[in-house]
Amino acid sequence: MGLKEKFADLSARLREAEGENLLAVIVYGSALAVPGGAKRSDYEWLIVLRRFNAVDLRRVGPVIHALVEAGYALPSFFSERELRDSLDVFPIEFRQMKRTYEVVYGQDVLANLEASPANLRRQVEYELRAKMLRLRSLFLPASQSPERLQRLMTDSVGSFVHVLRPILELLGEDPPVERRAAAARVGERLGVDLAPILRILTLRDEPVSLLEVEIQDLFSAYLDCLGAVIEAIDKLPSGR
């Protein structure tokens, strides 16, 4: 069964709620990269309306509530104009959508959208710097307990890898889907040792208890390698 058939009821209910105002329903994300083994929460959604206001949110609310109750992720909502105008501020998100997606209803609104490398580099640096500042702030309460500090690392590392993948796009490569492979390749291309990130990814998937000194040392190395990545990104030409 294809995705259009799988989600025909969702499309029908959204059309019933919005009529001609519904422009597109698109599925994207890791669920399409690993067909057959995907969880419902792996499906990501883009819903595009010709216009979008609070009345439209109320109309589609019951449909989306049922979708989330069934275990699926909340969709991203855009109006047609917002989609075009947001390319410069959300290049990471749009490139992620375009990497693997399928239109289950309506127009292929992503086909002709392209985010510039300059905007992508800018967002990558911004996201990494913002996440680094947040990580430093969260260290203070987490450092009261070795378990909390280890959890801070394993909880945060996925969001960093999400931002690392587009670095490979800036360097002309398709990023690997698997987190460890993507992080390792970024380290190779930038000449930065990302062993701490790889270690934390392993702890995330295969938890083990570390000694307090090991946790403190790993966190220090984590910050150092993230700082080195940010420094390398800052030096990349904006036009690549």
Residue with tokens 């990302």: 194
pLDDT in tens, 135-148: 999 999 999 999 99
The pLDDT score that the predictor gives to residue 35 is: 60
Write the DSSP string, 149-183. HHHHHHHHHHHHHHHHHHHHHHTT-PPPSSHHHHH
pLDDT in tens, 201-214: 999 999 999 999 99
Residue 240 pLDDT class (50, 70, 90 cuts): very low
The pLDDT score that the predictor gives to residue 1 is: 59
Is the CB of residue 135 less than 8 Å from the CB of residue 163?
no
Q: Coil, strand or helix: which one is 210?
A: coil
Is the CB of residue 119 less than 8 Å from the CB of residue 35?
no
Show the tokens assigned to 96: 């992620």
Among 4-13, 29-38, 96-105, the range scoring the smallest mean pLDDT is 29-38
Mean pLDDT of 25-35: 81
Is the CB of residue 54 less than 8 Å from the CB of residue 42?
no
**CA-CA distance, 30 to 178, in Å (whole number)?**
10
What's the pTM?
0.79
Catalogue all structural domains in the chain, each as residue range(s) with its CATH number: 3-106 (3.30.460.10), 117-234 (1.20.120)
Residue 223 pLDDT class (50, 70, 90 cuts): very high
Is the CB of residue 78 less than 8 Å from the CB of residue 45?
no
Which has more pLDDT, 141 or 5? 141
pLDDT surpasses 60 at 239 = no
CB atoms closer than 10 angstroms to residue 187? 20
pLDDT surpasses 80 at 36 = no
Is the CB of residue 143 less than 8 Å from the CB of residue 149?
yes
Show the tokens assigned to 100: 């693997």
Among 8-12, 43-47, 69-73, 174-178, the range scoring the smallest mean pLDDT is 174-178
Task: Quote the crossing angle between the two packed helices 91-99 and 117-142, to the nearest 10°.
Answer: 100
Residue 238 pLDDT class (50, 70, 90 cuts): low
Residue 37 pLDDT class (50, 70, 90 cuts): low
